[in-house]
Amino acid sequence: MKRMVLAALALVGVFVALYLTLYKLGMIGVLACGTGGCERVNTSQWAQFLGMPVSVWGLAFYLVTFIVAFVGTTPRQADNVGLSKLLTAMCGVGVLFSAWLTYLELFVIGAICRYCVVSAVIVTVMFVVSLMDWRTRRDERASAS
Amino acid sequence: MAKNNAQRTAASGPSSRRPFYLILAAIAVLGIVAIVYEKKTSTHRTPEEMNAEYEALKQKYANAGPPQPYVRGKADAPVVIEEFADYECPSCGNFATVTEPDVRARIVDAGLAQYKYYDFPLPMHGNSRQASLAAACADEQGKFWEMHDQLFASQDRWGLSPSEAQVTDNPTPVFQSLAKAIGLDMTKWQQCYDSKKYEARVMANMSEALRRNIDQTPTFFVNGVKIAGAVPYDQLKQAVDNAAKQGPMSAADSALGNIISHH
């Protein structure tokens, strides 16, 4: 059940990241109105990470997490605690990355992008759910054996 | 262990997975619809169309002559502040509504600097050139700054929404209400606006921005020193003080500035 929630949240994340990626691709122009908001954040130097737009990394992250969580919902994987650990680790990395981006937005760029906030909230909730999932599976396994 | 597995299989059999698939499908459909809707509403004209329109205008007014900025303050002030701005640009709006009143009261009207406003409508802002025309027609009746302030204060009614989508394809009714509010001769203003009487002026100002390689709005020049972005009052005041200390721009400096800016 918790993995279903994870998969659903990851799918929402896929669309948020997809939207930002399309925006980024469409907005690559020479002239810019240096705004407060998405334009400013999304055209800043920090919108690139390892040579790729941050939104593309986000898209890849949500897609992979969605696939892992979806596989995890199948009955065959129900007892796979390792999968829960993997999901927790992935979401943990996502939370750290989002925290860093939010720090940049607030204290370095000085502008907030709504969609980035939405993404940060999603990944945080996903992390909490993945932790709960991990604990449940671990406890179940302990009581079963 | 086996029992546990059997229980779980029963509980998460194909039938109990149906709601899950339905929810996933719903998210996917909603996501696609939202993105398509956002794409549709954000720009009624495609960026390519807007750019084509822009390039055509640039061609048409390639020889529009020297820029004709809108001027405020004493002509013999020791410092000149030049602003290049776009009426539809949110950060220009921030500057105009938050910072500019201070700049006017404490720098321009105090005689420390003269202020020049140049139109720099960006190609992706579909209503910005119209706004420049509306302001130029107010200038004809001596009310440029009133119109300038009205336009920036009402960006949300004719420019970009908070999600940076164009709120309307036809900003004219809003401009009319602004013109009325500042007490313009409406017949005269409407005629001027409809005939695009000052399009050449707007485009000449824009050409000057392109000549100076400005890639962001607003951009300021304080006695020729470039400051990009909607900077706070203190930063602008600092630049004015520095410029005043260095004395008025000499003829040689401004000639050099011209040479540099033409490259």
Residue B16 lies in a domain: no
Structure tokens that stand for B145 in this block:
């700054």
What pLDDT, on the 0 to 100 scale, is given for residue B72? Answer: 96
Residue B224 main-chain phi, psi, to 5 deg = 90, -10
Place of tokens 């908001």: A37
Mutate to test the interface with A, among B20, B86, B119, B217 (most CBs of A within 10 A): B20
Of the candidates B136, B153, B155, B154, the one whose C-alpha atom is nearest the C-alpha of residue B144 is: B136
Instruction: Write out the H or E segment, with its range, that includes residue B222.
Output: strand B219-222
CATH code of the domain containing B145: 3.40.30.10
Residue A81 belongs to a domain:
yes
pLDDT of residue B134: 97
* A145 located within any domain: no
Mean pLDDT confidence for A90-103: 89
Q: Is the pLDDT of residue B255 over 50?
A: no
**Does residue B56 belong to any structural domain of this protein?**
no
Instruction: pLDDT band for B162, please (50, 70, 90 cuts).
Output: low
In Å, how far is B258's CA from the nearest CA of chain A? 22
**Average pLDDT of chain B to the nearest whole number:** 84
Domain containing residue B98? 70-261
Domain membership of residue A61 (yes or no) is: yes
The answer to whether the CB of B249 falls within 8 A of the CB of B80 is: yes
Supply the pLDDT for residue A110: 66
ipTM score assigned to the predicted complex: 0.70
Any alpha helices (H) in chain B, and if so which ranges? 2-11, 14-42, 47-60, 90-94, 100-103, 128-139, 144-153, 155-158, 172-181, 186-194, 199-211, 233-245, 251-261
State the Cα–Cα distance between residues B218 and B164, nearest whole angstrom.
17
pLDDT higher at B102 or A25: B102
pLDDT at B144: 97
Residues B210, B202 contacting (CB under 8 angstroms) = no
Are B164 and A32 an interchain contact pair (Cβ–Cβ within 8 Å)? Answer: no
B71 and A13 in contact (C-beta within 8 Å)? no
**Each residue of A121-133: pLDDT tens digit?**
999 999 999 989 8
B55 assigned to some structural domain: no
Distances (CA, A) of B82 to A110, B111, B176, B210: 25, 15, 28, 14
Residue A101: per-residue pLDDT: 84
CATH classification at residue A104: 1.20.1440.130
Number of domain units in chain B:
1
Q: CA dist B143 to A88, B73, B190, Å?
A: 62, 14, 14
**Domain containing A118: what range?**
2-139
User: Of A11, A26, A114, which has the smallest distance from its Cβ to B47's Cβ?
Assistant: A26
- The answer, yes or no, to whether residue A35 has pLDDT greater than 60, is no
Determine, yes or no, domain membership for B4.
Answer: no
Report the distance separating Cα B113 and Cα B83, nearest Å: 13
Q: Determine, yes or no, domain membership for A130.
A: yes
Q: Is B65 exposed, middle or buried (0-12, 13-18, 19+ CB in 10 A)?
A: exposed
What is the reported pLDDT for A26? 57
Q: pTM of the entire structure?
A: 0.58
pLDDT digits (tens, 9 = 90+) for A36-52: 455 666 666 667 777 77
Contacts of B20 (CB under 8 A, 6+ apart): A4, A7, A8, A73
Residue A144 lies in a domain: no
Q: For position B87, what pLDDT does the model report?
A: 95
Distance CA B27, CA B29 (A): 6
Q: Is residue B247 part of a domain?
A: yes
Question: Which region, left, alpha or beta, applies to residue A110 given φ > 0 means left and ψ of -120 to 50 means alpha?
Answer: left
Q: Distance (Å, rounded) from C-alpha A41 to C-alpha A19?
A: 15
Pairing between β-strand B219-222 and β-strand B225-228 as defined by DSSP bridges: antiparallel
**If residue A15 lies in a helix (H) or strand (E), which one and from where to where?**
helix A2-27
Residue B75 maps to a domain: yes
Greatest alpha-carbon span in chain B: 93
- As a dihedral over the C-alpha atoms of residue B180, residue B183, residue B189, residue B194, rounded to 10 degrees, the angle is -10
Residue B235: inside a domain: yes
Q: Is residue B35 part of a domain?
A: no
Q: What is the mean pLDDT of chain A?
A: 80
All residues of chain A having their beta carbon less than 8 Å from the beta carbon of residue B27 are 8, 11-12, 15
Q: Each residue of B61-82: pLDDT tens digit?
A: 777 789 999 999 999 999 999 9
B230: nearest CA partner in chain A: A34
**Is the distance from CB of B135 to CB of B189 less than 8 angstroms?**
no
Number of domains in chain A: 1
B28 exposure class (CB count in 10 Å sphere: 0-12, 13-18, 19+): middle
Pairing of strands B79-85, B113-119: parallel
Would the CB atoms of B1 and A22 count as touching at under 8 Å?
Answer: no
Sequence-ordered list of residues with C-beta below 8 angstroms from that of B148, at least 6 positions apart, any chain: B70, B96, B117, B135, B138
**CA torsion through residues B176, B203, A33, B142, sign:** negative
**CB spacing of B91 vs A33 below 8 angstroms:** yes
Mean pLDDT of all residues in B176-190: 96
CA gap A106, A67 in Å, rounded: 32
User: Tell me, what's the pLDDT at B6?
Assistant: 44
Band of residue A28 on the pLDDT scale cut at 50, 70, 90: very low
Among chain B residues, CA nearest to A8? B24
Q: Report residue B177's pLDDT band, with 50, 70 and 90 as the boundaries.
A: very high
Which one-letter DSSP state was computed for residue B1?
-
Largest Cα–Cα separation, chain A: 64
| Chain B partners within 8 Å of A137 (Cβ) | none
User: Which residues of chain A approach chain B closer than 8 Å at the C-beta?
Assistant: 4, 7-8, 11-12, 14-15, 18-19, 22, 26, 29-40, 73, 75, 78-79, 114, 140, 144-145
Is A78 within a domain? yes
